[in-house]
Amino acid sequence: MSADLKHTLPENIFRIVFEKSPGSILVKADIPRFTILAASDTYLKVTSSTREAIIGKGFFEVFPDETHLNDANAARTIFTQVIKTGQKIDVPTYQYDVYNADTGGYEQHFWSCSNVPVLGDDNKIAYILNTVTDITGEVKAKEAAIESENRLRLANEATGLATWDLDMRDQSFVCSPGMADIFGHPAGTVLSLEELRSQISADDFEHIVRRSHQKALFSGRHLYEVRIIWPDNSAHWIKAQGMVLFDEQKQPIRMLGTILDITENKRDEIRKNDFIAMASHELKTPLTSLKAYIQLLTKKLAGTDDAFISNALIKAGNQVNKMADLIYGFLDLSRLEPGKLQLKIQQFDMNKLIANVIAETNPVNYTHSIIFKPHGELNVNADRDKIGQVISNFLSNAIKYSPKESTVTLSAKIAGDNVLVAVADKGIGVKLKDQEKIFQRFYRAESDHIKTISGFGIGLYLASEIIQRHKGKIWVESEEDKGSTFYFSLPL
Ligand code: ADP
């Protein structure tokens, strides 16, 4: 221990304090030797050395620096600078690999250090206090984080995914650079949430985006496809998928997710839908004349004694009607592309509409008793044809999925600010797990009954789209094997 320090602190006290201090070493300002005067326990530990092996030796004898000589952060340069300037110098990160006697090799280590000049009796710089901290763990963790971020970025770039994150408390919004590309802007454009939203039509935003986000506030997840308009006015499609994060009070705090450009897939789908629309449209004409001929034949042969012929005509009529239903379903489905389902709002009497739908359905229904007791007028503002389509779907399903001779009851009434329409049957019912899903496109509940009943799972999907476009609600209450009641309500 240096005798030079005896005026400031008793040597034994100095030794104890110093040796217990964090990774510190005290070197003499004897350029270029920098004799080591004291080292703390931690310093010895992190450098895998012993006090006997280093005290009294030149710093660079013990810690050779040949490979670091030109490095501005190298200890020799820093020590010299501290003595010349009399200023403390910190080095936030540098690499100095440590020899491991057990393995016989060098281990990669990163350090941060501070170098403080210490004055001697003559007020000149006599020592340097060098304090080092081993930050290998932090540096490696940071490197790993950067690497994983890079990997994620590369994966996103490779799959064309852009990511976004919205803080719902202060509405701050960040998105990955890929978003500019997907939304048709030059690379590097920073886009705000408002700018991105302005590329979605107000109608699509209301019916697709907002609806999906509102559902996500309960379910925690959202998934939707929507059309966007690029600055050059071309139409593109995106698929948005994401989740909502809640705090302990179950309040939503963040919404985040990915955006994928699905324009190519969507164009294929649109081409396919156009084909279905065209094909179903072409099929409609021969089917209509087939239907007319069957009706003519039925009239002509009314009162015939030939039971086979009248039976065959009834069956042929039924089959043609089924086929017409399917074809109209496909036609409607192809019209459902956002922006294509246009509502023609008019005032009409709901009771009259229900009576009409029953009258249209009755000629083909010889099996069930249909009960409807209207009370006066029930005027609503809505698309009459489309609401008629919903009632017709409810009614034909009630007949399809309930035993012959059973009753189907229709009703309409005012409930608060809404008109509520219900169609109840005593049929096979819908299992609880299927009750929400049957309103999805092509979903059919699985059961032995259903397999024998024809259908494509389009009707309720269309009904639900129509009702939602009216800002109404659609749902089912049902018990298996007891029956179902399908409802819709429309704001008055
Ligand atoms: P489809 O009848 O052509 O299959 P829908 O979309 O009209 O298509 O109905 C979807 C599914 O909902 C049906 O496959 C059936 O499983 C169920 N469903 C609809 N209405 C009823 C009903 N009244 N009773 C029992 N199940 C029903």
Alpha carbon 92 to its chain centroid, in Å, reads 40
Bigger pLDDT: 289 or 326? 289
Domain CATH code at residue 100? 3.30.450.20
Q: How confident is the model at residue 310 (pLDDT cuts 50, 70, 90)?
A: confident
| pLDDT, position 363 | 58
Instruction: With 0.75 as the threshold, say if the pTM is over it.
Output: no
| pLDDT, position 362 | 66
- The residue contributing the CA closest to ligand 1 atom 7 is 459
Residues in contact with ligand 1 (CB, 6 Å cut-off): 393, 397-398, 401, 425, 427-430, 438, 444-445, 450, 455-461, 484
Checking if the pLDDT of 9 tops 70, the result is no
Q: How confident is the model at residue 175 (pLDDT cuts 50, 70, 90)?
A: very high
The helix or strand, by DSSP H or E, that contains position 229, with its residue range, turns out to be strand 221-229
Whether 148 is in a domain gets the answer: no
The helix or strand, by DSSP H or E, that contains position 329, with its residue range, turns out to be helix 307-334
Checking if the pLDDT of 289 tops 60, the result is yes
Whether 450 is in a domain gets the answer: yes
Shared domain for 296 and 346, answered yes or no, is no
Shared domain for 242 and 307, answered yes or no, is no
Residue 486 C-alpha to ligand 1 middle, in angstroms? 10
What does the mean pLDDT of the chain come to? 87
Report the pLDDT averaged over residues 224-240.
94
Report the pLDDT averaged over residues 395-424.
94
| pLDDT, position 233 | 92
Q: How confident is the model at residue 340 (pLDDT cuts 50, 70, 90)?
A: low
Residue 477 C-alpha to ligand 1 middle, in angstroms? 13
Report the pLDDT averaged over residues 430-441.
91
Alpha carbon 255 to its chain centroid, in Å, reads 8
Atom of ligand 1 lying closest to residue 444 CA: 14
As given in the structure block, the two tokens for residue 421 are 């329409």
Residue 364 C-alpha to ligand 1 middle, in angstroms? 19
Q: How confident is the model at residue 127 (pLDDT cuts 50, 70, 90)?
A: very high
- Measure Cα distances from 15 to 8, 87, 113, 115 in Å: 12, 25, 21, 19
Domain CATH code at residue 473? 3.30.565.10
Shared domain for 227 and 299, answered yes or no, is no
Residue 457 C-alpha to ligand 1 middle, in angstroms? 7
Shared domain for 193 and 270, answered yes or no, is no
Strand 125-134 relative to strand 98-100, pairing: unpaired
**Amino acid letter at 238?**
I
Whether 92 is in a domain gets the answer: yes
Atom of ligand 1 lying closest to residue 429 CA: 25
Atom of ligand 1 lying closest to residue 447 CA: 16
Ligand 1 pocket mutation pick from 444, 453, 477 by most atoms within 8 angstroms of CB:
444
What is the extent of the structural domain holding 307? Answer: 264-331
Alpha carbon 131 to its chain centroid, in Å, reads 49
Task: Spell 344-354 as b/e; 16+ CB within 10 A means b.
Answer: eeeebbbbebb
Q: Are 80 and 48 in contact (CB under 8 A)?
A: no
Shared domain for 76 and 203, answered yes or no, is no
Shared domain for 164 and 236, answered yes or no, is yes
3-class SS of residue 9: coil
| Cα–Cα distance, 434 to 438 (Å, whole number) | 6
Domain closes at, from 331, 352, 376:
331
Q: CA torsion sign, 458 to 460 to 466 to 469?
A: negative
Q: How confident is the model at residue 123 (pLDDT cuts 50, 70, 90)?
A: confident
- The residue contributing the CA closest to ligand 1 atom 21 is 397
- The pLDDT tens digits of the residues spanning 10-52 come to 777 877 888 888 888 999 999 889 999 999 998 888 788 899 9
Alpha carbon 454 to its chain centroid, in Å, reads 35
- The residue contributing the CA closest to ligand 1 atom 4 is 457
In terms of average pLDDT, the best of 69-73, 289-293, 394-398 is 394-398
- The residue contributing the CA closest to ligand 1 atom 9 is 457
Residue 483 C-alpha to ligand 1 middle, in angstroms? 12
Domain closes at, from 286, 312, 331:
331
Residue listed under structure tokens 């023609």 = 344
Shared domain for 388 and 309, answered yes or no, is no
CA geometry: angle at 488 spanning 485 and 491, to 5°?
150
- The residue contributing the CA closest to ligand 1 atom 13 is 444
| pLDDT, position 234 | 92
Atom of ligand 1 lying closest to residue 427 CA: 24
Ligand 1 pocket mutation pick from 425, 456, 460 by most atoms within 8 angstroms of CB:
460
Alpha carbon 181 to its chain centroid, in Å, reads 19
Burial of 456 (0-12, 13-18, 19+ CB in 10 A): middle
Report the pLDDT averaged over residues 462-480.
93
Report the pLDDT averaged over residues 208-226.
91
| pLDDT, position 7 | 55
| pLDDT, position 145 | 87
Checking if the pLDDT of 338 tops 70, the result is no
| pLDDT, position 2 | 42
| pLDDT, position 276 | 81
As given in the structure block, the two tokens for residue 27 are 């070197």
Helices (H), 344-490: 350-361, 384-400, 448-451, 459-469
Atom of ligand 1 lying closest to residue 461 CA: 6
Q: Are 206 and 222 in contact (CB under 8 A)?
A: no
Q: How confident is the model at residue 6 (pLDDT cuts 50, 70, 90)?
A: very low
- Distant-in-sequence, close-in-space partners of 260: CB < 8 Å, separation ≥ 6: 159, 160, 161, 162, 182, 238, 239, 241
Shared domain for 350 and 374, answered yes or no, is yes
**Amino acid letter at 90?**
D
Domain closes at, from 105, 140, 175:
140
Shared domain for 50 and 124, answered yes or no, is yes
Residue 357 C-alpha to ligand 1 middle, in angstroms? 18
As a residue count, the chain comes to: 492
Whether 382 is in a domain gets the answer: yes
Q: Lowest-pLDDT range, 93-107, 218-232, 309-323, 446-460? A: 446-460
What DSSP string runs through 72-112?
Answer: TTSHHHHHHHHHHH---EEEEEEE--EEETTTTEEE--EEE
Report the pLDDT averaged over residues 376-391.
92
Bigger pLDDT: 46 or 125? 125
- The pLDDT tens digits of the residues spanning 99-122 come to 777 888 888 889 898 999 998 888
Shared domain for 383 and 285, answered yes or no, is no
Whether 336 is in a domain gets the answer: no
| pLDDT, position 49 | 84
- Distant-in-sequence, close-in-space partners of 83: CB < 8 Å, separation ≥ 6: 29, 31, 117, 125, 128
Shared domain for 180 and 87, answered yes or no, is no
Question: What is the total count of domains within the chain?
Answer: 4
Q: How confident is the model at residue 95 (pLDDT cuts 50, 70, 90)?
A: confident
Whether 197 is in a domain gets the answer: yes
Whether 149 is in a domain gets the answer: no
Residue 323 C-alpha to ligand 1 middle, in angstroms? 17
Shared domain for 23 and 99, answered yes or no, is yes
DSSP 401: T
Report the pLDDT averaged over residues 333-358.
82
Checking if the pLDDT of 71 tops 90, the result is no
Ligand 1 pocket mutation pick from 326, 333, 397, 402 by most atoms within 8 angstroms of CB:
397
Checking if the pLDDT of 426 tops 50, the result is yes
Whether 145 is in a domain gets the answer: no
The percentage of residues in the chain with a pLDDT greater than 90, rounded to a whole number, is 47
| Cα–Cα distance, 178 to 161 (Å, whole number) | 7
Q: Lowest-pLDDT range, 7-16, 244-253, 405-414? A: 7-16
Checking if the pLDDT of 199 tops 90, the result is yes
| pLDDT, position 174 | 92
| Cα–Cα distance, 317 to 473 (Å, whole number) | 34
Residue 211 C-alpha to ligand 1 middle, in angstroms? 24
